[in-house]
């Protein structure tokens, strides 16, 4: 059986105008939180506002899965923000606007990593979007997990896949699921969240020097970003 191509499907290294907004989309928010970062999590929950999904047994896979499942009623999308993220002003309002545009079954990442030394593929793809003044970069992912928006319709099968996976990396489990259904990730350009770097060692031992967004819009608001396009897609 030949898979019917979605009208949203990106082409190889291409620049594409987006379709009209779908204003029926709604989003809920939760913070994926470890007690060691409780103060930050509670601050984020007030800022957005959002619920908090606490780590109950020092297990990021268990916490992440419960955070993904903690979506609200009657929503089309669900945003999971990690406890060590810093967000832009007007975060909730901006997210409510931007979710209107991507493919309805594709994940959205509000963070694109790799500041400083990073994969040349990550850098070149992002630089192409910047060159074209595109608010969206579509490629494999989500590669990084500080803030991911999940289409609620995909969550039941994502949960099943996640539970069966033996991949250790939490973010990669998520990415592998969306690759399995041939859905790329839509990254915002610029990033709307940033990793805290001071007094913030990784709880997973991932203390690379480049745990920062390649281009973070903060601390100013991103209300003036036009999310209707264009979109740059890359198959790298």
pLDDT along the chain (236 residues), means of 10: 43 70 97 96 98 96 96 98 96 97 97 73 88 94 96 98 92 95 96 81 52 84 90 84
| Residue 209 confidence (pLDDT) | 52
**Total residue count of the chain as it appears in this document:** 236
Judged by DSSP in three states, 24 sits in: coil
Q: 32 and 67 in contact (C-beta within 8 Å)?
A: yes
Tell me whether residue 108 is in a domain: yes
Position 159 scores a pLDDT of: 97
**pLDDT at site 212:** 87
What pLDDT does 170 receive?
A: 87
Contact status, residue 170 vs residue 127, Cβ threshold 8 Å: no
The torsion angles phi and psi of 56, rounded to 5 degrees, stand at: -100, -15
* Residue 2 domain-assigned (yes or no): no
- What confidence score (pLDDT) does residue 4 get? 45
How many domains is the chain built from? 1
Domain ranges, residue 219: 14-233
> What CATH number does the domain containing 207 carry?
3.90.550.10
The answer to whether residue 5 sits within a structural domain is no
Q: Decide if 78 contacts 174 (C-beta within 8 A).
A: no
Distance CA 178, CA 92 (A): 25
pLDDT at 211: 72
The reply to whether the predicted model has a pTM over 0.85 is: yes
Q: What is the DSSP string of 28-86?
A: EEEEEE-GGGHHHHHHHHHHTT-EEEE-SSS-HHHHHHHHHH---TT-SEEEEEETTEE
Has residue 1 been placed in a domain? Answer: no
Residue 6 lies in a domain: no
Q: Note whether residue 54 is domain-resident.
A: yes
Asked if residue 8 is part of any domain, the answer here is no
Looking at the chain, the number of H-run helices and the number of E-run strands are: 6, 11
Per-residue model confidence (pLDDT) at position 7: 42
Q: Is the peptide bond before 215 cis (omega within 30 degrees of 0)?
A: no
* pLDDT for the residue 19: 72
Residue 9 domain flag: no
Helices 155-164/60-69 angle, 10° precision: 170
């Amino acid at each position: 059986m030949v898979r019917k191509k979605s009208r949203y499907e990106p082409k190889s290294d291409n620049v594409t105008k987006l379709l009209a907004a779908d204003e029926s989309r709604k989003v809920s928010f939760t913070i994926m939180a470890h007690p060691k970062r409780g103060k930050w999590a509670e601050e984020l929950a007030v800022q957005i506002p959002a619920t908090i999904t606490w780590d109950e047994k020092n297990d990021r896979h268990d916490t992440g899965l419960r955070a993904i499942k903690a979506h609200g009623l009657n929503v089309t999308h669900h945003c999971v923000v990690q406890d060590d993220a810093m967000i832009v002003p007007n975060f909730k309002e901006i997210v409510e606007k931007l979710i209107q545009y991507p493919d309805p079954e594709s994940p959205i990442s509000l963070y694109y990593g790799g500041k400083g030394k990073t994969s040349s593929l990550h850098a070149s793809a992002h630089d192409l979007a910047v060159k074209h003044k595109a608010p969206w970069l579509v490629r494999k992912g989500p590669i990084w997990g500080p803030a991911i928006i999940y289409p609620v319709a995909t969550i039941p099968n994502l949960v099943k896949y996640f539970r069966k996976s033996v991949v250790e990396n939490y973010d990669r489990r998520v990415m592998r699921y969306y690759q399995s259904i041939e859905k790329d990730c839509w990254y915002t350009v610029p990033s709307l969240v940033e990793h805290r770097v001071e007094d913030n060692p990784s709880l997973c031992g991932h203390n690379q020097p480049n745990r920062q967004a390649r281009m973070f819009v903060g601390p100013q608001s991103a209300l003036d970003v036009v999310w209707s396009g264009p979109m740059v897609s890359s198959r790298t």
